[in-house]
Structure 1
Amino acid sequence: MVLVCHKHKFIYLKTTKTAGTSTEKVLQPLCEKPGLGELENGKVRISKYGIVGARGPGRREPHPDWQFWRRHKYPWRNHMPAWEVKENLGAETFDEYTKIANVRDPFDRAVSQFHFMKYQQNLPSEDPKTEFEQFKSFILSGTWSIDWKIVSIDNILIVDRFIRKEHLVADLNGVFADFGLPENSFNLGHDKSMKERRKGIPVPEYYDSETIDTVRRNMAWVFDKLGYPDSPQH
């Protein structure tokens, strides 16, 4: 979901496979009246406190309001591109507020996205050799998300602050401290983990020179901005 907080003047832009759902659940209470329960999938809350966009149902959660993906009916939704958030919110507010987004080591993220794709499509886990072949086809297909539309407008990166998945608690504590809120005053869950499907196989084993080059090229904005290593790490 996209989040807007008027008190602390921030916009949360949700990227993919970067611990975004865990992060949005931490930030969501800052964007709405205290004490509200969980927001039903496909619903939006707009109030004097801010905006809590719709979260989409997962593969196992069919929902009659799945049409919220249509912009004209549900203008606030999961993984919105930055230009659309700006258009809906208004340029003055968008430009004034701090834009926050999650980020993750691109090599690790690509592996996670591969397994999440298989999970969504009800595809089984295979032996490692087959998985590696499928992963290579996935990466070279160009069908995986690089999140650029979520974090940029007119091909310019517009995010002011990144929360790194590898340093999630520390980076969230930094955000809370800047808002004048106590550190460690949030409960951090772990959603949509692909740990079981990954079977403990180290990230470098998925890659060869061709897939390394493809990820480096497609995710250049992350490597350039965040300084992640340019080869897969154990």
Structure 2
Amino acid sequence: MAIISHKHSFIFIHCRKTAGTSIEASLIRYLGNRDIIKTGLENEPVKHPIFKTRNITTKFPYIEKSIKKIIIKLSELGLVRTPEWVLLNGSHIPAKKISERFKNPWQNYLKFCVIRNTYDRVISQWRWEVNNIRNKTNDISLDRFLDESKKDIKNGYSSWYTYTIDGEPKMDDYINFDNLNHDLKRILNKKIGINFDGWMPKKKSNTRREEEFEIKKKHLRRIESIHKNEIDHWNFDVPGHLL
């Protein structure tokens, strides 16, 4: 998921479990017809006519999704010119992919994303998967989740590979998850020139059960080992509520 705004000259990269869906829902209000957004269908659709915009989520998302699948296939076969929005096909699109396919915006637009304490983000992602994706009768253990994370670290389990290229962070600015609204307002108001009103809906927050999840020191050590690059770069400590 990502936003490329030609109207306001910014690129927002959505990292997992960092309120990205809520930020996208807020930023949708400021986008123009030429801007590109890939967001979840739970967000309100962009109020632009179908196929009259480069936005992927419009006011006819389900109809459009089916038609656009056909267009993607035809473009892969070389039968039609590849539309710009096809280049954002996929979820949680990494910086490297955007930099390669949108070279001019990448060099000239303000790039930003949200960073979140790695320990907190990993546990949040595990809890979300337990509650929403996995078979409720066979919930995944944290040990198994971390095993999967280690095997597929670059495919969504680590935010580090979303906002870095060849191990180097490439954003121009970062929003601290713990200071979300303040930092977003700082970037939009002072650096981009959007008069941000502070509105940001809560998305996906009601999908978690209020159950206690057992987190042991061995799990925290494994998170530190698997996500060492990000933890070392930002000097993240284990949050007190996980100790």
Give the TM-score normalised by structure 2: 0.69
- For 1:195 and 1:100, locate their aligned partners in 2 and report how far apart those are by CA, in whole Å: 27
Question: Contact conserved, 1:44 with 1:76, CA < 8 A, in 2?
Answer: no
* SS of residue paired to 2:144: helix
Q: How many correspondences in the alignment?
A: 207
For 1:207, the equivalent position in structure 2 comes to: 215
Which residue in 2 is equivalent to 1:58? none
SS of the residue 2:87 aligns to: coil
Shift of the alpha carbon at 1:20? Answer: 0.7
CA contact (8 A) 1:54 1:76 kept: no
1:87 aligns to 2:100 (yes or no): yes
Q: What's the Cα RMSD here?
A: 3.4
TM-score w.r.t. length of structure 1: 0.72
Q: How many angstroms apart in 1 are the aligned matches of 2:240 and 2:207? A: 17
- CA–CA separation in structure 2 for the residues paired with 1:69 and 1:220: 37
Do the aligned partners of 2:3 and 2:11 also contact (CA within 8 Å) in 1? yes
1:181-223 Cα distance to aligned partner (Å, 9 max, x none): 435x1421111126632x163xxx6433332122123333433
Indicate the larger mover: 207-216 or 9-18: 207-216
Whose helix proportion is higher, 1 or 2? Answer: 2
> Matches of 2:33 and 2:171 in 1, distance apart?
26
What secondary structure is seen at the aligned counterpart in 1 of 2:135?
coil
Q: Secondary structure at the match of 1:75?
A: helix
Q: Which residue of 1 aligns with 2:232?
A: 224
Tell whether 2:167 aligns with 1:155.
Answer: yes
Cα offsets for 1:105-132 (capped at 9, x unmatched):
2222112211222344352288xxxx7x
Alpha-carbon distance in structure 2 between the residues aligned to 1:85 and 1:225 = 23
Instruction: Determine what percentage of the aligned residue pairs are the same residue.
Output: 20
Q: CA deviation at 1:94?
A: 0.7
- Rounded to whole Å, the distance in 2 between the matches of 1:28 and 1:107 is 30
Matched, 1:146 2:146: no
Q: Per-residue displacement from partner, 1:120-160 (whole Å, max 9, x unpaired)?
A: 4352288xxxx7x8112211332461023321222322122
CA distance in 2, matches of 1:88, 1:182: 29
Please give the secondary structure, in 2, of the residue aligned with 1:101. strand
Question: What secondary structure sits across from 1:27 in the alignment?
Answer: helix
Distance 1:125 1:194 in 2: 20
Give 1:172 shift. Answer: 1.1
Q: 2:11 touches 2:110 (CA, 8 Å); kept in 1? A: yes
Shift of 1:84: 1.3
